[in-house]
């Protein structure tokens, strides 16, 4: 299939969205099928045909399959890893209306859509993804007014959902509005489309918009590759096109059990990203998200071992990523273990708590702990 030739909007209609469609690809035992039908009610299935084509169906533990295929484990709400929440990042506390989340003085994040090309099974925003009519504003002007009225905001993240699921004219309105605000130095568009739906980056109208915006303000694209197998000729070309627009592409991966939980996986991912011009930026500890944590999170001690061993295989650019806890008080860099204690460094001060910036936090961890309380 020549994916690049397809119309990106029309092809979305061919996504696999039902259990019956999944059964055309994978054999499901009756008991499993019943559970997956329940799971699909809780977090709808949505898999682009392109991403589905990357699955090795002969391998039941295939990492690509694990990220997109619903699992019966999603019915588990309580388990050995501890408590879970629908809002691990504390988004609600920082919600200023019109989709604006203002957590740190200098950054505003705007949830601009609840749509994604794919519904990743590990998503930490699964409470909004695929549920239109939620947090995202129907009219971006309210968000623009908030940002314009706060001169301390020097950068804006368009997020979601996946902003590149919006039409190019809708994105144009947003970017042109942001370009007019003098104190906004740069804009980030968070998107997993280079990974799950690279054909979106073959839309010349979109590329023209990104190129033109980048001539006015610096444009950064945080993307989300989790496994070296997601780096394909098509995703490589999508990234190349973004870079030709002048955008800097940074990667934010998540450490996920059964997906990338070996040092070899992480090293291959980071090296593969460098080879296609993407900067390894963050590796997130999987958050305590309801219906995600118990089958995707790995203990922090094991995470540190994996990261340290991966770093030993990587050159300086490959090592640049930070292993991060996306806590509701802000990001905490996981520096390593000192005996039985995890050593964390707070990366940003929350609004009203300037004394917390760069503080070191040390906590005793048991072998199974996957999160910290601070």
Minimum gap (Å) between residue 125 Cβ and ligand SF4: 5
Q: Does 266 bind ligand SF4 (CB under 6 A)?
A: no
Distance of CA 373 to the CA centre of its chain: 23
* Binding to ligand SF4, residues 154-173 (CB under 6 A): 160-162
Number of residues that bind ligand SF4 (CB under 6 A): 12
Minimum gap (Å) between residue 40 Cβ and ligand SF4: 15
The only residue of 120, 136, 245, 255 in contact with ligand SF4, by rule CB under 6 A: 120
Angstrom distance (rounded) from CA 319 to CA 243: 22
Map residue 202 onto helix, strand or coil: helix
- Whichever of 129 and 209 has its CB closer to ligand SF4, that residue is 129
Minimum gap (Å) between residue 196 Cβ and ligand SF4: 6
Of 292, 285, 295, 309, give the one whose Cα is nearest residue 370. Answer: 285
- Whichever of 162 and 181 has its CB closer to ligand SF4, that residue is 162
Q: What are phi and psi of 361, to 5 degrees?
A: -125, 130
Distance of CA 267 to the CA centre of its chain: 19
Q: What angle do CA 321, 124, 136 make, to 5 degrees?
A: 110
The only residue of 125, 200, 229, 350 in contact with ligand SF4, by rule CB under 6 A: 125
Binding to ligand SF4 by CB under 6 A, coded x per residue (else -) over 78-117, reads: --------------------------------------x-
Map residue 139 onto helix, strand or coil: coil
- Whichever of 67 and 266 has its CB closer to ligand SF4, that residue is 67
Binding to ligand SF4 by CB under 6 A, coded x per residue (else -) over 219-238, reads: -----x--------------
Of 183, 180, 199, give the one whose Cα is nearest residue 191. Answer: 199
Identify whether the C-beta of residue 249 lies closer than 8 Å to the C-beta of residue 239.
yes
The only residue of 129, 156, 276, 310 in contact with ligand SF4, by rule CB under 6 A: 129
Identify whether the C-beta of residue 129 lies closer than 8 Å to the C-beta of residue 166.
no
Angstrom distance (rounded) from CA 364 to CA 289: 22
In the complex, which residues of this chain contact ligand SF4 (CB under 6 A)?
Answer: 116, 118-120, 123, 125, 129, 160-162, 192, 224
């Amino acid at each position: 299939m020549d994916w690049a030739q397809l119309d990106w909007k029309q092809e979305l209609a061919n996504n696999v969205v039902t259990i019956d469609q999944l059964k055309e690809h994978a054999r499901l035992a009756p008991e499993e099928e019943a559970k997956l039908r329940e799971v699909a009610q809780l977090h709808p299935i949505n898999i682009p045909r392109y991403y589905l084509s990357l699955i090795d169906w002969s391998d039941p533990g295939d990492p690509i399959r694990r990220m997109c295929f619903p699992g019966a484990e999603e019915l588990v709400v309580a388990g050995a890893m501890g408590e879970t929440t629908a809002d691990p990042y504390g988004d609600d506390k920082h919600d200023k209306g019109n989709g604006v989340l203002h957590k740190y003085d200098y950054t505003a994040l705007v949830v601009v859509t609840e749509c994604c090309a794919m519904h990743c099974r590990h998503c930490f925003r699964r409470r909004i993804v695929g549920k239109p009519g939620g947090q995202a504003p129907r009219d971006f002007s309210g968000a623009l007014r908030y940002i314009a009225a706060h001169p301390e905001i020097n950068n804006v993240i368009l997020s979601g959902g996946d902003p590149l699921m919006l039409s190019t004219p809708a994105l144009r309105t947003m970017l042109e509005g942001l370009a007019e605000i003098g104190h906004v130095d740069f804009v980030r568009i968070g998107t997993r489309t280079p990974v799950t739906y690279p054909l979106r980056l073959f839309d010349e109208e979109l590329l023209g918009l990104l190129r033109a915006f980048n001539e006015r303000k610096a444009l950064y694209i945080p993307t989300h590759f989790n496994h070296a197998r997601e780096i394909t000729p098509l995703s490589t070309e999508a990234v190349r096109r973004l870079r030709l627009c002048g955008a800097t592409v940074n990667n934010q991966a998540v450490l996920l059990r059964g997906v990338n939980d070996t040092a070899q996986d992480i090293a291959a991912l980071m090296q593969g990203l460098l080879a296609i011009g993407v900067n390894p930026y963050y590796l997130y500890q999987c958050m305590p998200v309801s219906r995600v944590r118990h089958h995707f999170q790995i203990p922090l001690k094991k995470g540190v071992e994996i990261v340290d061993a991966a770093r030993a295989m990587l050159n300086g650019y490959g090592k640049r990523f930070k292993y991060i806890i996306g806590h509701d008080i802000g990001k905490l860099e996981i520096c390593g273990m000192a005996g039985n204690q995890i050593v964390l460094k707070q990366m940003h001060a929350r609004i009203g708590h300037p004394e917390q910036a760069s503080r070191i936090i040390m906590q005793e961890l048991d072998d199974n702990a996957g999160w910290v309380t601070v």
